[in-house]
Amino acid sequence: MKLASLLSVLLACVVLAPLPSLAAKPKVTTDQVVGLTRFLEEKPLDGNAPAIRALLLDWEEKSNEVIDYVCEGVMAPIPDDDVPNSAELLGQFIFGSAAHQISTPADKGKVVPGQLAGMRSMLKAYAAFLAADPAARIPRLDELASMDAAGTLPEYLAPIAIKACGEGD
């Protein structure tokens, strides 16, 4: 799946919150990406979260500092309009992959580490969404979270990512 088209769809789903501190539409710097990503993992429902997502999406779209792959099948059933918090979880996956590449430059453009980092970031945000609304449960993400807790997520995810996206750079 093309990242640019997914980013466009995701950006269309994100509504900027009217925040005085963000009203001037500041730019996110590379140095801020990791911290903002972690913030969204912990507090995806924060009042500032939609504006932060929009800023991170803008950064992602314009940045050449990371190479993100959205490998079909890795995130299934996301994206889907019938899945709770789908747009936010998709964004979190992308942001988590980017944050990993920034903090681990040797992994830039590598499919498996990026997919694993994106998934783990998405699962953290998913846990926060569930804490606020248990009805937002997504059975496949529950399975993936169990695999992550058991330490088997990398061996499960790697072949799916490689089949869908190849080895990367």
Residue-wise pLDDT for 30-52, tens only, equals 999 999 999 999 999 999 999 99
**pLDDT of amino acid 169:** 60
The whole-angstrom separation of Cα 95 and Cα 37 is 6
- Counts of helices then strands in the chain (DSSP H, E): 7, 0
**pLDDT of amino acid 26:** 76
Mean pLDDT over 97-110 rounds to 96
The whole-angstrom separation of Cα 22 and Cα 48 is 9
Angstrom CA distances, 137 to 55, 127, 130, stand at: 27, 9, 6
Tokens of 45: 């429902």
Give one DSSP letter per residue of 84-115, joined into a string. Answer: TTHHHHHHHHHHHHHHHHHH-GGGTTBHHHHH
Mean pLDDT over 11-38 rounds to 67
Please give the residue that has the higher pLDDT: either 36 or 21: 36
Count Cβ atoms below 10 Å from residue 8 Cβ, excluding itself. 13
Count Cβ atoms below 10 Å from residue 121 Cβ, excluding itself. 25
168: β partners:
110
DSSP 74: T
Could you read off the pLDDT of 56-103 as tens digits, one per residue?
A: 999 999 999 999 888 888 999 999 999 999 999 999 999 999 999 999
**pLDDT of amino acid 71:** 86
The whole-angstrom separation of Cα 88 and Cα 136 is 12
Please give the residue that has the higher pLDDT: either 20 or 114: 114
Using DSSP, state whether 168 is helix, strand or coil: strand
Could you read off the pLDDT of 115-152 as tens digits, one per residue?
A: 999 999 999 999 999 999 999 999 999 999 999 999 99
Which H or E run includes 141? helix 139-150
**pLDDT of amino acid 19:** 41
**pLDDT of amino acid 12:** 42
Whose tokens are 């979190």? That residue is 92
Per-residue pLDDT band at 27 (split at 50, 70, 90): confident
The whole-angstrom separation of Cα 61 and Cα 106 is 21
DSSP 134: G
